[in-house]
């Protein structure tokens, strides 16, 4: 029989307590829109603060309209975003144009604000290949459907930026469910080992479809998973646009200064269903939970903050709403008029030079399509 040691090898309670202390939620604006962390306030002008609000309001309208267009059969795949505006919009707002964005399927707003025209976002929803063709100078990849795969790609894109000596970062997003994937660990580990300028965001909206985050991992936080990869990790109030902005901006500075990647967990909530393909959130979460999170709404608290500063009004907000509706109407009409995709289109964009066996098929399809 093995002898017992006199003292414990590990004081597990102490270890877990130390971790909890290290990963306390970072917040700047509380639910009432009051600044609770003055020293961490990002250096944004009044105009920049208003622009951030404008983008969040615009994105909320885009979400509402997209849901309605989907129900009318005018859009295809759509993953609702309401509730996640601070996590999505404020994180993108902290980037520079030369940075690369590698989105997940719910992260279409970030690539729209990074430069993807709205009508192309609608084409993406409809499964049209042109929705995945980023215009020249728009540094985005198309939204990743395979959960977590973008984490590995981001390590690679970031390493490429480093090797080319660019002062830019690659940012990616996944959900709490995505943080359980092997790709998640491989991505953060590789980027850490090579000090690649990457920012890994996990939008912890508490559910992976119907699976609650409590069943996802034994870890108290997702942010602490950074420790094992030897990178910086932070948990942020994901309903607080200023906290998200500050955390991403700091991560960006760290990355371009050669100090490696950061893992940012944003605590957030999606108000709608997982996607428009038919899940019913009332089957896996209660009205109380929904109310609790809606009280943290990023638009409400940021509106209060801006109104208190005297730089936002209902009139201003209504203008944004009208503009969004107009843009969406125009973009959906443009998407409607865009030429339908053909088999030959897909063949043409696949290779620099078409292989001979495809050329044969290409001619056959070309003839069929001309009828």
Ligand X SMILES: Cc1ncc(C[n+]2csc(CCOP(=O)(O)OP(=O)(O)O)c2C)c(N)n1
Catalytic residue among 54, 60, 254, 274: 274
Residue 125 lies near ligand X (rule: CB under 6 A)? no
Q: Which stretch binds ligand X (CB under 6 A): 58-66, 176-184, 242-250, 289-297?
A: 176-184
Cα(327)–Cα(304) distance, integer angstroms? 26
311: tokens are 């730089």
| Minimum distance of ligand X from residue 149's CB (angstroms) | 7
Residue 264, strand partner residues: 201, 234
Contact 29, 291 (CB under 8 A): no
| Minimum distance of ligand X from residue 178's CB (angstroms) | 4
The length of the chain in residues reads: 371
Our CB check for ligand X shows the closer of 139 and 174 to be 174
Our CB check for ligand X shows the closer of 42 and 177 to be 177
Q: Which stretch binds ligand X (CB under 6 A): 52-60, 168-176, 223-231, 290-298?
A: 168-176
| Minimum distance of ligand X from residue 208's CB (angstroms) | 3
Cα(222)–Cα(236) distance, integer angstroms? 11
Residue 208 lies near ligand X (rule: CB under 6 A)? yes
Draw the binding track, 99-118, toward ligand X (x: CB under 6 A; -: no contact): -------x------------
Q: What does the buried/exposed string (b/e) look like for 26-38 if buried means 16 or more CB atoms within 10 Å of the residue's CB? A: bbbbbeebeeeee
Query: How many residues of this chain bind ligand X (CB under 6 A)?
Result: 14
Catalytic residue among 185, 194, 271, 284: 284
Sequence-distant (≥ 6) Cβ neighbours of residue 208 within 8 angstroms: 175, 176, 177, 178, 180, 216
| Minimum distance of ligand X from residue 63's CB (angstroms) | 13
Location of structure tokens 């902290």: 94
Cα(354)–Cα(306) distance, integer angstroms? 56
| Minimum distance of ligand X from residue 147's CB (angstroms) | 4
Is 270 a catalytic site residue?
Answer: yes
Q: Which of residues 127-146 bind ligand X (CB under 6 A)?
A: 145-146
- In the three-class reduction of DSSP (H, G, I as helix; E, B as strand; rest coil), residue 33 is classed as coil
Cα(301)–Cα(149) distance, integer angstroms? 34
Cα(33)–Cα(303) distance, integer angstroms? 8
Q: Which of residues 268-307 bind ligand X (CB under 6 A)?
A: 274
Residue 91 lies near ligand X (rule: CB under 6 A)? no
Q: Which of residues 147-166 bind ligand X (CB under 6 A)?
A: 147
Is 130 a catalytic site residue?
Answer: no
Is 114 a catalytic site residue?
Answer: no
Sequence-distant (≥ 6) Cβ neighbours of residue 13 within 8 angstroms: none
**Residues annotated as catalytic (active site), given as ranges:** 270, 274, 284
Q: Can you give the binding site for ligand X, defined by CB under 6 A?
A: 106, 145-147, 174-178, 205, 207-209, 274
């Amino acid at each position: 029989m093995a002898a017992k040691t006199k003292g414990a090898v590990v004081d597990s309670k102490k270890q877990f307590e130390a971790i909890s202390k290290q990963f306390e939620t970072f917040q700047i604006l509380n639910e009432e829109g009051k600044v609770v962390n003055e020293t961490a306030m990002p250096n944004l002008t009044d105009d920049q603060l208003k622009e951030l609000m404008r983008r969040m309001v615009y994105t909320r309208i885009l979400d509402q309209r997209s849901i309605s267009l989907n129900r009318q059969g005018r859009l295809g795949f759509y993953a609702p975003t309401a509730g996640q505006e601070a996590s999505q919009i404020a994180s993108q707002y902290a980037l520079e144009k030369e940075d690369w964005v590698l989105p997940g399927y719910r992260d279409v707003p970030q690539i729209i604000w990074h430069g993807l025209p709205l009508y192309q976002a609608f084409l993406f929803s409809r499964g049209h290949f042109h929705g995945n063709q980023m215009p020249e100078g728009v540094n985005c990849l198309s939204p990743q459907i395979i959960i977590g795969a973008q984490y590995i790609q981001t390590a690679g894109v970031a390493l490429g930026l480093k090797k080319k000596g660019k002062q830019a970062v690659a940012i990616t997003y996944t959900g709490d469910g995505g943080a359980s994937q092997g790709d998640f660990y491989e991505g953060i580990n590789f980027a850490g080992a090579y000090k690649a300028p990457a920012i890994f965001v996990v939008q912890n909206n508490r559910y992976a479809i119907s699976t609650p985050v409590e069943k996802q991992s034994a870890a108290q936080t997702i942010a602490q998973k950074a420790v094992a990869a030897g990178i910086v990790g932070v948990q942020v109030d994901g309903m607080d646009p200023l906290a998200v902005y500050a955390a991403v901006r700091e991560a960006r500075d760290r990355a371009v200064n050669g100090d490696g990647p950061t893992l940012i967990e944003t605590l957030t909530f999606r108000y709608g269903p997982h996607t428009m393909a038919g899940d019913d959130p009332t089957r896996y979460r209660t009205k109380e939970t929904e109310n609790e999170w809606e009280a943290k709404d990023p638009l409400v608290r940021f509106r209060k903050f801006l109104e208190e500063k005297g730089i936002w009004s209902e009139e201003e907000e209504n203008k944004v709403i009208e503009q969004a509706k107009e843009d969406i109407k125009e973009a959906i009409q443009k998407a409607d008029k865009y030429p339908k995709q053909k088999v030959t289109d897909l063949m043409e964009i696949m290779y620099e030079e078409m292989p001979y066996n495809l050329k044969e098929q290409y001619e056959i399809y070309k003839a069929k399509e001309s009828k």
